[in-house]
């Protein structure tokens, strides 16, 4: 049974628990699960030598004070860089191995969908399948083509589309899960409500309660430790 079927309402850590620990780090994921959240959202992109790593930005400026792009650095060099918190950037394989009993929304972080992006998508999907984690993972992206590719080539992997424009709602309903920006939920809910609807990024308790009462199936949040009581 996929983990989405086990919950009426999920509280999902946005890149972990960034209100307490630096985003997308092992420490942040530990904090998420220790707080009682059943799932975490994380971002994946390639290094220069094709290693899937967990990092949101395409460059290191915000979190490490360096202008280098993730895609221009080999894993051996990237692994030695310390982030602002002193943490290092993890590989996706290490995160899935360390937290194999937990649940993930894995965002494929891409700017387009060509050969390199297709290979990244393949690598992530195969990593999930090889670990028998199909029931613990939702693969997501802002790129509808990437998610269409997963649906066409990897039977049994659940997909979801992130989107922030109401015009993208039609693409969202082609996926198993719809993940709208919370500010557009009133415009798009009726169109996407046949799918589990999980808005992002919700850090207001009153907004979280309203979304739950509306019929959303969860929220992605930076402050999930404050919303544990909403999990069903």
Question: What are the beta bridge partners of residue 138?
Answer: 105, 158
Calpha distance 99→97 (Å, rounded) = 6
Residue 106, domain extent: 3-45+102-230
Q: Is residue 165 part of a domain?
A: yes
Is residue 163 domain-resident? yes
Question: Kind and range of the H or E element at 150?
Answer: helix 144-153
**Residue 16 — left, alpha, or beta (φ > 0 → left; ψ -120 to 50 → alpha)?**
left
Structure tokens at 118: 């297709």
Percent of the chain with pLDDT over 90: 100
Its pTM stands at: 0.98
Q: What is the CATH number of the domain that holds 161?
A: 3.20.20.190
Which segments in the chain show pLDDT lower than 50?
none
Residue 31 placed within a domain? yes
Q: Which residues of 76-91 are buried (b: 16+ CB within 10 A; e: fewer)?
A: eebeeeebeeebebbb
Judge whether 52 lies within some domain.
no
In a domain, 84, yes or no: no
Does residue 75 lie within any of the structural domains? Answer: no
What is the reported pLDDT for 23? 99
pLDDT at 137 (0 to 100):
99
If one counts every other C-beta atom within 10 angstroms of the C-beta of residue 3, the result is 17
**199 belongs to a structural domain:** yes
- Mind listing the pLDDT tens digit for each residue in 8-43? 999 999 999 999 999 999 999 999 999 999 999 999
Residue 8 lies in a domain: yes
User: What local confidence, expressed as pLDDT, does residue 24 receive?
Assistant: 99
Give the C-alpha separation, 203 to 179, whole Å: 15
Distance between alpha carbon 215 and the CA centroid of its chain, in Å?
21
Number of separate domains in the chain: 1
């Amino acid at each position: 049974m996929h983990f989405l079927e086990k919950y009426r309402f999920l509280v999902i850590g946005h890149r972990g628990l960034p209100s307490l620990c630096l985003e997308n780090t092992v420490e942040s994921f530990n904090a998420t699960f220790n707080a009682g959240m059943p799932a975490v959202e994380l971002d994946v992109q390639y290094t220069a030598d094709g290693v899937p790593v967990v990092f949101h930005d395409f460059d290191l400026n915000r979190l490490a004070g360096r202008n280098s792009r993730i895609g221009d650095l080999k894993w051996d060099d990237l692994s030695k860089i310390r982030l602002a918190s002193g943490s290092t950037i993890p590989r996706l394989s290490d995160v899935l191995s360390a937290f194999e009993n937990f649940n993930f929304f894995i965002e494929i972080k891409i700017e387009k969908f060509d050969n390199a992006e297709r290979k990244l998508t393949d690598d992530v999907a195969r990593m999930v399948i090889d670990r028998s984690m199909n029931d613990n993972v939702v693969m997501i992206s802002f790129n509808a083509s990437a998610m269409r590719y997963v649906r066409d080539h990897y039977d049994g992997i659940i997909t979801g589309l992130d989107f922030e424009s109401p015009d993208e709602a039609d693409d969202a309903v082609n996926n198993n899960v719809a993940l709208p920006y919370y500010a557009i939920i009133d415009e798009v809910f009726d169109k996407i409500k046949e799918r589990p609807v999980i808005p992002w990024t919700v850090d207001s308790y009153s907004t979280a309660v309203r979304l739950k009462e509306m019929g959303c199936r969860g929220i992605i949040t930076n402050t999930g430790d404050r919303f544990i009581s909403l999990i069903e």
